[in-house]
Structure 1
Amino acid sequence: MWRDADFRRLCAGQTASQLGEHASLVVLPLIAVLTLNTDAGRLGVLRAVEQAPILLLSLFAGAWVDRWRTRTVMVLADAGRATALGAAVVAGVLGVLGLPALLVVAFAVGALSVFFDVAYQASLVRLVRRDQLLRGNSALEGSRSAAQIGGPALGGTLVSLLSAPIAIASSALFFVLSFLSIRQIRRPEAIPQRAERPRRVRRRIQEGLRFVVGDPLLRAVGLASAAFQFSLATMMTVYLLFLPRVLHLPGTAVGLALAATGPGALLGSLLAGRLPNRFGYGVVLVTSAALGDGVMLCVPPLHGPAAVTVPVLVAVNFVFGAIGQLVDVTVMAVRQAVTPDDMQGRAAATITFVGMGLTPIGSLLGGFLAQRWGLRTGLLVTAAGMLLSPAVMALSPLARLGRTLPAPAVGSLCGSHRWEGE
């Protein structure tokens, strides 16, 4: 059992960090669209630059995190993100905050977020027993849901009503709060013992790749994640333009619509603690992914005033957030359960690399489709593309998972699973 005080600090730090991250994910693109009048192509470039570190740094981050305390990594990442956004605030005050500055800040925040996210995913395994993973993940993801409620709404409101420097400063403040909370964690981590002569980073990365590729469940998780994240990146580039320019919504309404994923995600994290054990992990994953991704097809046909479109957008994003969170928590529990302790960081980083490595290309493609076909048609096509992920799950070993989690592979890195309860 984890120490209650330290677990609360981890939850609080994770919540604050996610609040800052979700606020910045809305603030930076909206500043580009509403303040700098950025077109679809340049918005795609901005989002691609923000996501490029996932492709460039994920594998290195996994090899690094497996040899260090996750608390140290998360604290340094928070400090770095607060500093990068603080520099953007100074640039805004001086009147030099243009698209080039936003690109630099977006890349820096994205790079440090890679390290924070990999360390966060590995931290829980070092604090709790494996039979507590689903409950622990549900609690942590519930705290992240609280951040998703306030982050987008706060970012959209600040960009709409106040200046760009103040909007950016709000995100920096939450990273400072996360730094202060995680820094107070006192529990010693059970990090894997280091060899006297550390292996090269390249070899450790290769071991992580071989482990994920050789494991049928982790390979399926990576492929399904890649399909989802690529489609989501493509759709979100069009979506962030569709709301203000086709539906003519102000920044506050955009933030409100996006914030609806937060309470939905809170519900999803609660459901994740119950549904897989009742209906089976495979059934929950495939059914939920199809429902959650398919609901986005309700957005492209929307017409009319904000009094009509905003409630529909809130409902759609609520369902998307709830089902998406259910899938995320369930997949994370599966990944953590089948992965040995000394591979947690590398497995998380490899799946992040495989799953999100194509997101920069997706963002660029979204901008291209918006310019080529128009925002409404582009959104319809990209929303339909999100159904590829549940299709991958349905054809994979994930669909055959039962009500108990598999145990870590025994023997070689690519060995067969030993299933609990057999």
Structure 2
Amino acid sequence: MPSSSSTGSDSGRPAPPSLWRDGDFRRLWAGQTASQLGEHACLVVLPLFAVLTLDAGAGQLGALRAVGQAPILLLSLFVGAWVDRWRTRTVMVLTDVGRALVLGAAAVAGLLGRLGLPALLVVAFAVGALSVFFDVAYQASLVRLVKRDQLVRANSALEGSRSAAQIGGPALGGALVSVLSAPIAAASSALFFALSFLSIRRIGRRESVPERSERPPRVWRRIQEGLRFVAGDTSLRSVCLASAAFQFFFAAVMTVHLLFLPRDLHLPGAAVGLVLAATGPGALLGSLLAARLPSRFGHGAVLVSAAALGDGVFLLVPALHGSSAVTVPALLAISFAFGAFGQLVNVTLMAVRQTLTPDGMQGRAAATINFVGMGLTPLGSLLGGFLAEAWGTRTSLLVTAAGMLLSPALMALSPLARLGRTLPAPPEAPASPEAPAPSV
């Protein structure tokens, strides 16, 4: 892109009419929405299958969830390097087919009574691994489908559908298990991936991908290029550090939060679930706000202020006492505000990252930031549990919630805070010494 571009318009809708008239974008949006519904339904269907059908214990259930999340840490960097060498449409349709087949096979095996816990662990890992491929590919594909001055609105539309999937997916998965059965619910999740496949395969726009050479660069070299690119760009490095700080302390906060609600506030399980679910509607609002606030007030101002408000609202939780009639509405408001401001930050940061990254680096930049950001979450969870045992839940929640403010502080001290209403053009992609430069 030769010059800076505007990222907004006067419209308050998630995307301007010109964007929605783009059939390829609509197909990507529909496919991503179906994929997210299937993915979030699986987060409930597979654990319920283990508990209700296989009578899994708490430790086994924890292992199942960990195995499903492990691909984020194990594969993200490799996936980023690989996706940048292929057409994203091809990656997405293949992963949709793979997830549909895996879940379909699991459903058949479950109906026949031949799906044990070891096989379910394999299913969880396979679905998680393919989802990493899909998520990195769809983020990279957006830059190849829409103009850079439409990225904020396009991300707002996609993140809005993802937020809706976060609300409806688990509820749908739980309802299918209750009304039908766990194996049939798994088959229903496979249908969502099939729908995603049918939509994304109809994307007709050809993508520019790097030319193939007789000696393609080794995957480790491509990973190193992605790491060096993110580390060498001050804005992207700040995104990485702020994301890592947030994920670390948020993992600690949630560990203590899940102890604080039932033990200190004596909330029943249904009330705890309701409180946690309130972040979903807030995220929908945040997606809508992200379509217009950065172009009106500036990307930097929105990032810092929204992160400070969203993270700081958790400081109110340790101050709550009294009956559930008082605490539950307050907790619902806190969760809603956290979801709204948090999603506003997420959408804006994604647009910043995509705009500042050359097309040939999109997959690796996304994977690098995801890897660094999510890599600290296990340590954060351990810290939250340790502090809760040593200091008690109320004090620990206050300390870890205060730690979340490190993320907006890092952004405020970085070049991100100085981003205005328009975003600068990306630098040229670094040329690989073992391969020709990407074609345009």
CA offset digits 1:244-303 (Å, max 9, x no partner): 7852223xx655544433332222122112111222111111111121122234445666
Instruction: For residues 328-378 of structure 1, give each alpha carbon's deviation from its aligned partner in whole angstroms, at most 9, with x where no partner exists.
Output: 111111111111111111111111111112234444555666677776666
Alpha-carbon contact 2:230-2:237 (below 8 Å) kept: yes
Q: Any conservation in 1 of the 2:359–2:429 contact (CA below 8 Å)? A: no
**1:242–1:150: structure 2 CA closer, same or farther, 3 Å change rule?**
farther
Choose which of 151, 154, 177 in structure 2 pairs with 1:133: 151
Q: Which amino acid aligns with 1:218?
A: L
What SS does structure 2 have at the residue aligned with 1:191? coil
Q: 1:209 maps to what in 2? A: 227
- After superposition, residues 297-336 of structure 1 pair within 5 angstroms as 297-299=315-317, 310-336=328-354
Partner of 1:420: none
Change (3 A) 1:302 1:72: farther
Match of 1:407 in 2: 425
* Corresponding position: 1:230 with 2:248: yes
How far off its partner does 1:207 sit?
0.9
Greater mean alpha carbon deviation, residues 318-327 or residues 207-216: 318-327
Measured in 1, the distance between the counterparts of 2:42 and 2:317 equals 23
The alpha carbon displacement at 1:64 in A equals 0.7
* Number of the residue aligned with 1:260: 278
Residues 44, 364 of structure 1: 8 Å contact kept: no
CA separation of 1:90/1:232 partners in 2, compared to 1, >3 Å: closer, same or farther? farther
Moved more, 193-202 or 326-335: 193-202
Q: Give me the whole-angstrom Cα distance separating, in 2, the residues matched to 1:352 and 1:114.
A: 10
**Counterpart check, 1:343 vs 2:364:** no
Aligned to 1:419: none
Q: Does 284-293 or 237-246 show the bigger shift?
A: 237-246
Q: Quote the residue 1:182 is aligned against.
A: 200
Question: In structure 2, what is the Cα distance between the partners aligned to 1:376 and 1:320?
Answer: 19
Which of residues 269, 281, 292 in structure 2 aligns to 1:249? 269
Aligned twin of 1:153: 171
What is residue 90 of structure 2 aligned with on the other side? 72
SS of 1:20's equivalent in the other structure is helix
What does 1:8-407 align with in structure 2 at a 5 Å threshold?
8-28=26-46, 38-39=57-58, 45-90=63-108, 92-93=110-111, 100=118, 103-157=121-175, 163-237=181-255, 239=257, 246-250=266-270, 256-299=274-317, 310-363=328-381, 365-366=383-384, 381-407=399-425
Change (3 A) 1:225 1:64: same
1:1-38 CA deviation, whole Å, 9 max, x = no partner?
76622211110111111122233334556677899575
1:43–1:367 Cα contact (<8 Å) kept: no
Matches of 1:346 and 1:260, distance apart in 2: 33
When structure 1 is superposed on structure 2, of 388-397 and 159-168 the one drifting more is 159-168
Question: Under a length normalisation based on structure 2, what TM-score does the superposition of the two structures give?
Answer: 0.80
One-letter code of the match for 1:52? A
The change in CA–CA distance for 1:303 and 1:110 in structure 2 (over 3 A counts) is farther
Q: Residue 207 of structure 2 aligns to a residue in which SS? A: coil
Structure 1 residue 240: Cα displacement: 5.5
- The AA in structure 1 aligned to 2:237 is R
Q: 1:389 to 1:150 in 2, by over 3 A?
A: same
- The amino acid across from 1:267 in the alignment is L
Structure with larger Rg: 2
Provide closer, same or farther for how the CA distance between residues 45 and 220 of structure 1 changes in structure 2, counting only shifts above 3 A: farther
The separation in 2 between residues aligned to 1:167 and 1:357, in whole angstroms, is 31
CA distance in structure 2 between the partners assigned to 1:357 and 1:329 by the alignment: 21
| Aligned 8 A contact 1:153 1:256 in 2 | no
- Which stretch shifts more, 102-111 or 263-272? 102-111
In structure 2, the gaps of 5 or more residues are 1-17, 432-440
Q: Identity across aligned pairs (percent)? A: 79
Deviation at 1:395, TM superposition (A): 2.3
Distance 2:384 2:106 in 1: 26
Contact 1:297 1:380 survives alignment (8 Å): yes
Question: C-alpha separation between the residues in 2 aligned to 1:44 and 1:227?
Answer: 24
Question: Taking structure 1 as reference, are residues 104 and 376 closer, same or farther at Cα in structure 2, changes over 3 Å only?
Answer: farther
Q: Secondary structure at the match of 2:128?
A: helix
**Cα displacement (A) at 1:214:** 0.5
Give, in angstroms, the shift of residue 72 of structure 1: 1.3
